[in-house]
Structure 1
Amino acid sequence: MTLPTDAGDLLLPIARSAVEARLAGTRTGQIPVADLAARGSRPDWLAGPGASFVTLEALGRLRGCIGTLTPHRPLGEDVAHNAIAAAFHDPRFDPLAEAEFDGVLIEVSVLSERTPLPYSSERSVSDALRPGVDGVVLEAGPFNRATFLPQVWDELPDPADFLLHLKRKAGLPDGWWSDDARFETYTVESWREGPDRR
Structure 2
Amino acid sequence: MKNILGYYLMPHPPLIIPSIGKGEEKKIQNTINACESIGKEISILKPKTIVVITPHATMFSDAIAISNEEKIKGNLIKFRDFETNIELEIDKEFNDELLNLCKSENISAAGVDSNLLRRFNKDYELDHGTMIPMYFVNKYYTDYKIVHITYSILNDIELYKFGMAIQKTAKNLNKNTVIIASGDLSHRLTEDGPYEYSPQGAKFDKELIENLENGNVVNIFNMDKCMIEEAGECGLRSLYILLGAMEGNSIQGELLSYEGPFGVGYGVMKFNQEGENISNLDKLVKIKEESFNKKISNSNPYVKLARESLNYYFKNKRLMIASNDLPREMLEERHGVFVSLKKFGQLRGCIGTIFPTTDCVANEIIRNAIQAAIADPRFLEVTEDELVDIDISVDVLTNPIKAIKEELNPKIYGVIVSKGQNRGLLLPDLEGVDTVEEQLNIACQKGGINPNSDYSIEKFEVIRYKEGENNEI
In the alignment, the residues of structure 1 paired with residue 348 and residue 300 of structure 2 have an alpha-carbon distance, to the nearest angstrom, of 22
Q: Which residue of 1 aligns with 2:468?
A: 194
User: SS state of the match for residue 172, structure 1?
Assistant: coil
In the alignment, the residues of structure 2 paired with residue 15 and residue 172 of structure 1 have an alpha-carbon distance, to the nearest angstrom, of 32
* Amino acid across the alignment from 2:338: F
Match of residue 105, structure 1, among 380, 387, 391: 391
In the alignment, the residues of structure 2 paired with residue 146 and residue 94 of structure 1 have an alpha-carbon distance, to the nearest angstrom, of 23
Does residue 185 (structure 1) correspond to residue 459 (structure 2)? The answer is yes
Is the alpha carbon distance of 1:191 and 1:97 closer, same or farther for their aligned partners in structure 2, counting shifts above 3 Å?
same
* Amino acid across the alignment from 2:407: A
Normalising by structure 2, report the TM-score.
0.34
* Amino acid across the alignment from 1:178: S
Post-superposition Cα deviations, 1:94-117, rounded to whole Å, max 9, x if no partner, equal 111122111000001111111011
In the alignment, the residues of structure 1 paired with residue 453 and residue 369 of structure 2 have an alpha-carbon distance, to the nearest angstrom, of 34
Does residue 171 (structure 1) correspond to residue 448 (structure 2)? The answer is yes
Match of residue 27, structure 1, among 315, 318, 336: 318
For 1:90-129, list aligned pairs within 5 A: 90-118=376-404, 125=405, 127-129=406-408
Post-superposition Cα deviations, 1:19-46, rounded to whole Å, max 9, x if no partner, equal 1112223311x33x1xx32xxx233211
Q: Which residue of 1 aligns with 2:326?
A: 42
Q: Which residue of 1 aligns with 2:433?
A: 156
- Identity of counterpart residues, as a percentage? 30
Post-superposition Cα deviations, 1:30-68, rounded to whole Å, max 9, x if no partner, equal 33x1xx32xxx2332111222211011111111111111
Q: Which residue of 2 aligns with 1:138?
A: 417
Runs (4+) of structure 1 exceeding 4 A deviation are: none
Does residue 51 (structure 1) correspond to residue 328 (structure 2)? The answer is no
User: SS state of the match for residue 370, structure 2?
Assistant: helix
In the TM superposition, residue 86 of structure 1 has moved relative to its aligned partner by 0.7
* Amino acid across the alignment from 1:51: G
In the TM superposition, residue 168 of structure 1 has moved relative to its aligned partner by 1.5
Structure 1 gap segments, 5+ residues each: 1-7, 119-124
In the alignment, the residues of structure 2 paired with residue 192 and residue 172 of structure 1 have an alpha-carbon distance, to the nearest angstrom, of 31
Normalising by structure 1, report the TM-score.
0.78
Q: Which residue of 1 aligns with 2:364?
A: 78
Q: Which residue of 1 aligns with 2:109?
A: none
* Amino acid across the alignment from 1:62: L
Q: Which residue of 1 aligns with 2:8?
A: none
Specify the structure having the higher radius of gyration (Cα): 2
RCO higher in structure (CA 8 A, sep ≥6):
1
Q: Which residue of 1 aligns with 2:375?
A: 89
Q: Which residue of 1 aligns with 2:304?
A: 13
Q: Which residue of 2 aligns with 1:64?
A: 349
